[in-house]
Chain A
């Protein structure tokens, strides 16, 4: 007689029952992990209402960020080390060297996976363009050859007499 809305319906099972204890629900785990995913940058809506697999992307993004930070710190250490090596000759006691070694004029050339992929893509596109250019050249050449009385693909030349 009364049609209940889904949101108001009771899921207590046959003959009614008590709400499940906290220890038997997944909600408690969702709530425990919620602050962690907030710290990764997820919003409330993304965590609770969006695609469940978004958390995996955020975890991976966090790992990549950590790797980047680690890489940057290591790189900074390299630059500091190099700077110290450049000035080391003049800070030694009784050193006869008056000038420090020149510091590098350019930063290290860094390569990462993304730049490698872009390089491959550029190469692939260049290959395609070269292939298209060659095909266009071949078409033009064949056309000119035909207009001058020749034949293409190993065919017989036009009959010009003996």
Chain B
């Protein structure tokens, strides 16, 4: 399974957003708590979004990141993507292949 990345272009510049353990460590040392994200996701989404720049675009100014964030479409889907990317750094250390016959399959009706 490859690392999850989020790609887009803004003002002629290509951006690749992703998380690594090092960038999460940096975010946490700056005060970001993943647990708080469950209670107030929309408040912390800008910080999570900014944290995704640390790996490949660490010298990008916060003002520019906030500007990009403001123009991002479909923020609920963006939350989902960013949390999946964030969780990968933790889940990769916890979970191996699921055991056969122990997981229920489910499908939404929308």
Contacts and interface: CB of A to CB of B under 8 A. Distances in A.
A156 interface: no
Contacts of A95: none
A5 B27 contact: no
Contacts of B27: 11
Contact of B89 (A3, A10, A13, A52): A52
Interface in B32-67: 32-36, 43-44, 47, 50-51, 53-55, 57-65
A52 B88 contact: yes
Interface stretch (A14-22, A70-78, A103-111, A124-132): A14-22
Nearest to B63: A3
A25 B32 CA distance: 9
Contacts of A114: none
Given A11-B47, A13-B36, A5 B61 contact: yes
A19 B92 contact: no
A7 B59 contact: yes
A51 interface: yes
B22 interface: yes
B31 A12 contact: yes
Give the size range of B's interface with the partner.
35 or more
B31 A6 contact: no
Contacts of A11: 27, 30-32, 47, 50-51
A30 interface: yes
Given A11-B27, A25-B28, A30-B25, A52 B62 contact: no
Interface of A: 3-7, 9-14, 17-20, 24-27, 29-30, 33, 47-56, 59-60
Interface of B: 1-3, 19-22, 24-36, 43-44, 47, 50-51, 53-55, 57-65, 88-90, 92-93, 96
Given A3-B64, A27-B25, A48-B25, 16 more contacts: A6-B50, A6-B60, A11-B32, A11-B47, A11-B50, A13-B43, A19-B30, A20-B28, A25-B33, A48-B20, A49-B21, A49-B22, A49-B55, A52-B92, A53-B3, A56-B96
